[in-house]
């Protein structure tokens, strides 16, 4: 039986009959799988978490993008949401709305890129794409009040769904958690050389005198 806490590897899947591989997964199933993957990752840090915040941002076609559009979805851990809301002011509803708007602002910044450029197909492309996307997410978060938390984010690419090939319509999913703080190495205690006591030789006649 698979470990339910082990996150799935990010991948690109198709839901368009015109795709080379045909229909592979529905949008509903894809989102369900990716959300479960994100929650599994969050639970590695906090096993008690059972849900997460979901922010969805539509991406309009950009000039010169060939009509490529889509949606960016962010799954945000409860730990990030609570810390971010605690740093805001107002009622609980006001603080929650503020954080949601800040996350949407980060996704808006991310969406300024060409959506077609978010498509990676081969394993080699995915290996290059993942770190680049994470860097873009980190930079987008730094342009919001998230930077005030002084906590390094742990963003991950959860996967991409190609809902339509021509013109391209992609659903890009990321998850955002706090990075684990680096472990501090224990400082080594200075080694103190044992002090040497002067050697005393007793003569038989004076021993114990």
Cα 52-58-63 angle, rounded to 5 deg:
145
Q: For residue range 123-175, list pLDDT tens digits in order.
A: 677 777 788 889 999 999 999 999 999 999 999 999 888 888 787 788 999 99
Contact indicator for 171, 163 with CB cutoff of 8 Å: yes
Q: For residue range 87-135, list pLDDT tens digits in order.
A: 999 999 999 999 999 999 999 999 887 555 556 556 677 777 788 889 9
Question: d(Cα 75, Cα 51) in Å, to the nearest integer?
Answer: 9
Domain ranges of the chain: 15-66+77-178
Q: For residue range 43-96, list pLDDT tens digits in order.
A: 998 888 889 999 999 988 777 766 778 899 999 999 999 999 999 999 999 999
pLDDT at 208: 45
Residues 33-38, mean pLDDT to the nearest whole number: 94
Q: 6: which 2 tokens?
A: 């082990």
Question: d(Cα 153, Cα 178) in Å, to the nearest integer?
Answer: 5
């Amino acid at each position: 039986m698979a470990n339910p806490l082990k996150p799935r590897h990010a991948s690109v899947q198709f839901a368009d009959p015109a795709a080379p591989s045909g229909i592979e997964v529905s949008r509903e199933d894809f989102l369900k799988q990716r959300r479960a993957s994100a929650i599994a990752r969050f639970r590695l840090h906090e096993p008690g978490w059972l849900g997460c915040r979901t922010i969805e941002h539509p991406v309009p076609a950009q000039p010169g993008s060939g009509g490529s559009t889509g949606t960016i979805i962010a799954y945000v851990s409860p730990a990030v949401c609570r810390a971010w809301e605690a740093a805001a002011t107002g009622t609980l509803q006001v603080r929650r709305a503020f954080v949601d708007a800040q996350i949407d602002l980060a996704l808006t910044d991310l969406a300024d890129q060409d959506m077609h450029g978010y498509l990676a197909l081969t394993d080699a492309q995915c290996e290059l794409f993942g770190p680049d996307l994470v860097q873009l997410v980190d930079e987008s978060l730094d342009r919001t009040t998230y930077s005030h938390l002084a906590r390094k984010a742990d963003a991950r690419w959860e996967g991409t769904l190609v809902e339509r090939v021509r013109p391209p319509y992609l659903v890009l999913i990321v998850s955002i958690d706090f990075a684990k703080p680096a472990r501090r190495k224990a400082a080594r205690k200075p080694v103190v050389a044992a002090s040497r006591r002067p050697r005393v030789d007793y003569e038989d006649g004076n021993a114990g005198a």
